[in-house]
Amino acid sequence: MDKILRIDMGAAGGPKVSEKPMGEYEGLAGRAMTSAIVSREVPPLCHPLGEGNKLVIAPGLLSGSAAAISGRISVGCKSPLTGGIKESNSGGQPSQVLARLGYAAIVLEGKPVDDSLYKILINKDGVNIAADNSLKNLGNYDLVDRMKEEFGDKIACISIGPVGEMKMPVASIAFTDMELRPTRHAGRGGTGAVMGSKGVKVIVLDDTGMGKREPKDPDAFKKANKKFVQGLKKHAVTGEGLPAYGTNVLTNIVNEAGAYPTNNFSNGRFDGAVKISGETVAEIEKERGGNPTHGCHRGCVIQCSGIYMDKNGKYLTKQPEYETIWAHGGNCGIDDMDAIAQMDRMDDDFGMDTIEMGATIGVAMEAGLAEFGDTQAAINMVKEVGKGTPLGRILGSGAAVTGKVYGIERVPVVKGQAMPAYDPRAVQGIAVTYATTPMGADHTAGYAVTANLLKVGGDVDALKPEGQVELSRNLQIATAAIDATGYCLFIAFAILDQADTFQDMLDVISAFTGQPLTADDVTALGKQILTSERDFNTRAGFTAQDDRLPEFFLKEPLPPHNVTFQVSDEELDQVFNW
């Protein structure tokens, strides 16, 4: 990865391609790359859908190599949902393929002068861009089938559905998995709307003829990588829980802890949780000929994805993630797993963030558009967004806008982005992350559930304010650094608990780059990334008052523990004081 591909979609005479050396971005990858380019090159006060915004797609530092579980990719821009900087992370095959093609980043710039829709092919021979308006309004599944017909089945695709074309803030960017299904998504923050504003429907990647990226020290790399994999496999979460039940292993755990947001964050327990739990989903998948253990990209050793079949044994969707099942399930009072899987399939096809969509439906139900538990009404709302009806446009603008339109006070957002599947009153460490991350409410930015509920990497009482700021701060720093490597964030369970596995990770990176890496270097990188992100947000007009939770979390006690959020504003303002 020694070059940056820039595509000016607004150039006179049509899109213009240029390949640039790394220059000031030398050594950066993943989130470090996307946030650096956005922070330095995007005017912070620009309109997110205007020509001044840029969409940056960057594979991780280790992507394209033989490093295990290194296929994560970062997407960066100014977010149409939050108005601040955004890094949205995804699995799938494209990170590995793009890295093997030699690109450290794709940067989409400018804005087309007309409403033409473009497809971009990138292979060993270069870049080809063609207008193809026959692709308009295609769902991601049909779109990828069209690309397979045109370019063969050795490709990987990055694409948007009709919601991205309509430039709605819930729009995601789809990344194909190993079976060339558009099931992995950079979901958060409306990145799909920015891709739509650039007039790009799909980027097709073909690394035929390109080899793996080779480490500087092959022997040391191979040895460290083997030990690292062994460490992942011996940890209870990465070696047992996630492979057996996927991310949805958390449903029963979080529900039992009284932290499972139910009926739009009005309760911490959902009576129907067992019907949509990871254990139940795994049994359904096995019974129907699916598979609860599956990787989203080659080289994954955790295998937390899966294949979900319908009642007739036909493929419906990938195994829905914990967040998706919660968002369309417990948050909306729904315990019908097939209906939730159907909504997951529609979200992927239309190109929408499942968290934002489910949270928005919860707010709409609170507003009286439907009763909690009304499965068909929830399905219909998803369809409205996909069709772009007036109601769909409101819902497709996210939970914050929907709450304003319908006059609802209980709207679970920070910086305009909906909260994921942990109530901040019952998991106060994740609440600090929700409030203070530059990204808007985002559990992955600093996953304090580790120490709060799972007792991984320590034990901090989830219901009390003590220790939460330090926990969130340390995890936000570590996460920013991991997001730059291409490693899946789920390695955190093992490296937090097992010092030798953490060292093995450092040894893998050191052997690959040829530069010794220490724990202090990881910390410094994380701080550097967060500093650039916060600097962008400050210049975009964000203040300390944006690092706060909605008022109802401070006033409404959450059953069953009847707790409110207790971390003070003064403490929240100390998170980034290092």
Residues 14, 65 within the same domain? yes
Q: Is the pTM of this model over 0.85?
A: yes
Q: Name, in order, each residue with C-beta under 8 angstroms of 411's C-beta and a sequence gap of 6 or more.
A: 363, 399, 400, 402, 403, 404, 550
Give me 194's structure tokens: 């920015």
Q: Name, in order, each residue with C-beta under 8 angstroms of 140's C-beta and a sequence gap of 6 or more.
A: 159, 160, 161, 174, 182, 348, 349, 350, 351
pLDDT value of position 296:
86
pLDDT value of position 159:
98
Residue range 461-513, pLDDT digits in tens? 999 999 999 999 999 999 999 999 999 999 999 999 999 999 999 999 999 99
pLDDT bracket for residue 303 (50, 70, 90): confident
pLDDT bracket for residue 416 (50, 70, 90): very high
pLDDT value of position 295:
86
Report the CATH number that the domain containing residue 347 is assigned in CATH. Answer: 1.10.569.10
Residues 240, 190 within the same domain? no
222 located within any domain: yes
Give dist(CA 17, CA 127) in Å, integer. Answer: 8
Domain ranges, residue 296:
248-423
Report the CATH number that the domain containing residue 539 is assigned in CATH. Answer: 1.10.599.10
pLDDT bracket for residue 425 (50, 70, 90): very high
pLDDT value of position 545:
98
Residue range 324-336, pLDDT digits in tens? 999 999 999 999 9
Residues 291, 238 within the same domain? no
262 located within any domain: yes
Residues 491, 375 within the same domain? no
pLDDT value of position 299:
84
Q: How many domains does the chain have?
A: 3
Give the domain-ending residue among 205, 230, 262: 205
pLDDT value of position 90:
97
Residues 385, 325 within the same domain? yes
Residues 377, 261 within the same domain? yes
288 located within any domain: yes
393 located within any domain: yes
Residues 403, 512 within the same domain? no
pLDDT value of position 360:
98
Residue range 46-87, pLDDT digits in tens? 999 999 999 999 999 999 999 999 999 999 999 999 999 999
Residue range 201-239, pLDDT digits in tens? 999 999 999 999 999 999 999 999 999 999 999 999 999
Give me 303's structure tokens: 């295998």
Average of per-residue pLDDT values in the chain: 97
Q: What sign does the dihedral 201-161-352-123 (CA atoms) show?
A: negative
Give the domain-ending residue among 423, 441, 474: 423
Give the domain-ending residue among 406, 423, 440: 423
Residues 414, 478 within the same domain? no
Q: Where are the alpha helices (DSSP H) in 6-93?
A: 30-41
Residue range 443-466, pLDDT digits in tens? 999 999 999 999 999 999 999 999
DSSP secondary structure string, 242-270?
HHHH-GGGHHHHHHHTT---BTTTTBS--
210 located within any domain: no
Residues 279, 164 within the same domain? no
Residues 440, 533 within the same domain? yes
Residues 419, 439 within the same domain? no
pLDDT value of position 537:
98
489 located within any domain: yes
Segment 341-364 mean pLDDT: 98
Segment 423-433 mean pLDDT: 98
Report the CATH number that the domain containing residue 142 is assigned in CATH. Answer: 3.60.9.10
Helix, strand, or coil (residue 352): strand
Residues 221, 297 within the same domain? no
